[in-house]
A and B are shown apart, each in its own frame.
Chain A
Amino acid sequence: MLRSFSDEALLALVARADPEALGVLYDRYASAIYGLARRMGFDPTTQEDCVQEVFVRIWNKAGSFDPKRASGRGWLLAVAHHYCVDKVRNQASRPQALSVYPDDDNHPEAFDLPGPGLDEEAALNRVRLARAMGFLKPEERQVLEALYYQGYTYPDAAQVLGMPLGTFKSRVQKALQKLREVLREA
């Protein structure tokens, strides 16, 4: 029955310590979290640890979710991303993030086709994002890559990419706005 509930309703139930609701959220988002950890370059054991720790946080912090401030999906995946970013920043040796670009031959596995375990919706999400990223200029993809998948703070990313801070910030804004528009039309 809970499978038809919205993310927001499930989070309200998780805040009341409902294990079944957490199970439904796991089925909806574990693939995205696992895939994010993989994309950020963690080894398979750490990828699993990331999923586990993120769901511990969701179980413990669901009471702080405010549906007026964020969508359930946005909140859940922000929790996941914050966890992975903190982990990247705390590692002595920064993991090498995989590449998202289809024309990048260095890490072909980063853009592999959906495997047999990937459900239809997840497969569509992959294709949709890859296409949307294709509409961005290389330098726009580059800033999103450095911030979201490599986990740099923006001053560090600007330094790594050799850009003045002001230019970097406005490029990030433009890139995210453009991605929003492209995804909306997709």
Chain B
Amino acid sequence: MKLEEARQNLALYALGALGESERQEVELALERYPELQEELRQLQDVAAELSLGQAVPPPPPLRTRVLAITQPKPPRRFGWGALAAAAAMLVLVWGGWQAWQWGPWIAAFGDPDTKVITLVDLERKPCGRFILRQDGQALIWIRLPPPPSGKTYQLWSVDGSTHLPMQTFEGQIFTFAAPQELQAIHITEEPDGGSQFPSVLRAVSN
């Protein structure tokens, strides 16, 4: 889509009047011609006025119903079948010679006191698991794209609003000793070697 054609379609885009394929074409054009972005921003603000000017208060109980979506879901209970399958897979993937290393983890899967917490990315899509054994040993399995050149991923122990820097890591699976004060974990993207303060958040424990 050429610049002028894209410009002519901006008003239709802002009003939600394009079909899916044309919408995508405009979005590609916005990448190609960044000068259109400010124009679109202004048109979208006008379109927003078409909604703001219709405001009617909803019934008060709706607020509670809507905000219930933010409540954490109860921890998922793993069935023994799934746990056994996960354990078997671990053994297979890592090879028999490493099985002794994972023995305690395999046993931990059957321990009801082992915590299994989902890690989610910034779109709140599950991207891994954080498994915490009763003895404080922790295992993380996470699926993230390789960090950009000169960057690494870093783990943080989060206690309230305090971020405690922990190790940097590569790969998808690793173990570590969890600090006692650990309440949640964050994973960030940092310059090589890690940081003392978090930079770019990539995943959080749910």
A binds B: yes
A residues bordering B, Cβ < 8 Å? 15-17, 19, 22-23, 26-27, 30-36, 38-39, 47-48, 51-52, 55-56, 59-61, 63-64, 68-71, 73-78, 80-82, 85, 100, 115, 117-119, 122, 125-126, 128-130, 132, 144, 147-149, 151-154, 157, 169, 172-173, 176-177, 179-180, 183
Contact A22–B57 (Cβ < 8 Å): no
Contact B48–A51 (Cβ < 8 Å): no
Which residues 23-77 in B have Cβ within 8 Å of A in the complex? 30, 37, 40-59, 62-63, 65-67, 69-71
Interface residue B127 (Cβ < 8 Å from any Cβ of A): no
- Shortest Cβ distance from B23 into A: residue: A82
Interface residue B144 (Cβ < 8 Å from any Cβ of A): no
From A33, A56, A74, A100, give the contact of B45 (CB < 8 A). Answer: A74
CA A118 to CA B57, docked complex, whole Å: 6
* Size category of the binding interface on chain B: 35 or more
Main DSSP-derived SS at the B contact region:
helix
Contact B17–A172 (Cβ < 8 Å): yes
- Shortest Cβ distance from A186 into B: residue: B49
Chain A neighbourhood of B9, CB < 8 A: 169
Contact B122–A22 (Cβ < 8 Å): no
Chain B neighbourhood of A59, CB < 8 A: 69-70, 124
Provide a sorted-by-A list of 18 A–B residue pairs whose CB atoms are within 8 angstroms. Answer: A17-B120, A22-B70, A34-B55, A63-B123, A63-B124, A69-B30, A71-B45, A80-B51, A81-B51, A118-B57, A122-B52, A125-B55, A147-B15, A148-B15, A148-B50, A173-B11, A176-B15, A179-B46
